[in-house]
Structure 1
């Protein structure tokens, strides 16, 4: 990956033409183990939201990605965040955080409900995500409950994650 200045970086909506570059980025970021994670089970049934999914591009190359998906938690409409992927050459410059904040702001602008994710609490707590509202959430597979976070919930979330 070439070295690009911050002025070369832009966050833009994901497009269908990005599919091959996105798959390459996901393989680079997560490897084949990404297919066994509980988050992948959610994405198998959730409805993809291209209007809330964004690529970070530098010099014509996709260097970051964040996607949102429609789900329900029990009866509550919500969004599921993931994957969040950043090329290793950009992991220390705050790009992942910029993508999370951008996707959250876009969801807020549309009046969307809570956003659920499985991730690292110290990273995501900076963006308003927390573990406590998710104590009653049931994901479609085993997961460490300390890594299930949500933001924007009016109260505790409970029930299975479903389409």
Structure 2
């Protein structure tokens, strides 16, 4: 399968190359990237899946954000090398990040993605939480890492530093 470990500084360019391979050109123009710009990743929640030769076969990153004045985590991007897709690496990375975030006491996490895929990990549509345009509101999903963590939380998703 693959070994999952925290992303190291020396993995940066290999992870970026994987994201370039897996996502359309211009990925950094997406609204979620505006929330990441100039903000440090949550290092413990940035993971790589390594193949037998030590290569990065998959990667996931997590960023701090706010929903109004309430702190949250923004999950993504998650990518798996095309030659390794279908092996469950993406799911393993997502589950590992959720488990680590919960253990670290983070109350809530959100992402922009497909509900049928992310729903199996516990994510569901967030009512009243808006990402910067042009994000489709149907794709704004969240998971409570503590009971009731999304209760009463609404507003615009903002950069953690703003």
| TM-score, normalisation: structure 1 | 0.89
Match of 1:139 in 2: 131
Cα drift, residue 45 of structure 1: 4.9
Match of 2:24 in 1: 31
| 2:63 is aligned with 1:73 | no
Counterparts of residues 28-107 of structure 1 (less than 5 Å): 28-58=21-51, 59-107=53-101
Tell me how far apart the structure 2 counterparts of residues 35 and 15 of structure 1 sit (CA, whole Å): 21
Cα drift, residue 93 of structure 1: 1.1
Tell me how far apart the structure 1 counterparts of residues 153 and 127 of structure 2 sit (CA, whole Å): 7
Tell me how far apart the structure 2 counterparts of residues 31 and 114 of structure 1 sit (CA, whole Å): 28
Return 5+ residue gaps in structure 1 as ranges: 1-5
Structure 1 moving runs of 4+ over 2 Å: none
Tell me how far apart the structure 2 counterparts of residues 44 and 141 of structure 1 sit (CA, whole Å): 16
Tell me how far apart the structure 1 counterparts of residues 129 and 150 of structure 2 sit (CA, whole Å): 14
- Indicate how the Cα distance of structure 1 residues 156 and 130 shifts in structure 2: closer, same or farther if over 3 A, else same: farther
For residue 3 of structure 2, give the secondary structure of its aligned residue in structure 1: strand
Tell me how far apart the structure 2 counterparts of residues 62 and 33 of structure 1 sit (CA, whole Å): 22
Tell me how far apart the structure 1 counterparts of residues 94 and 133 of structure 2 sit (CA, whole Å): 24
- Indicate how the Cα distance of structure 1 residues 46 and 116 shifts in structure 2: closer, same or farther if over 3 A, else same: farther
Match of 1:155 in 2: 151
Cα drift, residue 36 of structure 1: 1.9
Return 5+ residue gaps in structure 2 as ranges: none
Structure with a larger share of its residues in helix: 1
| TM-score, normalisation: structure 2 | 0.90
2:119 to 111, 118, 125: 125
Q: Assess if the C-alpha contact under 8 Å between 1:66 and 1:83 holds in 2.
A: yes
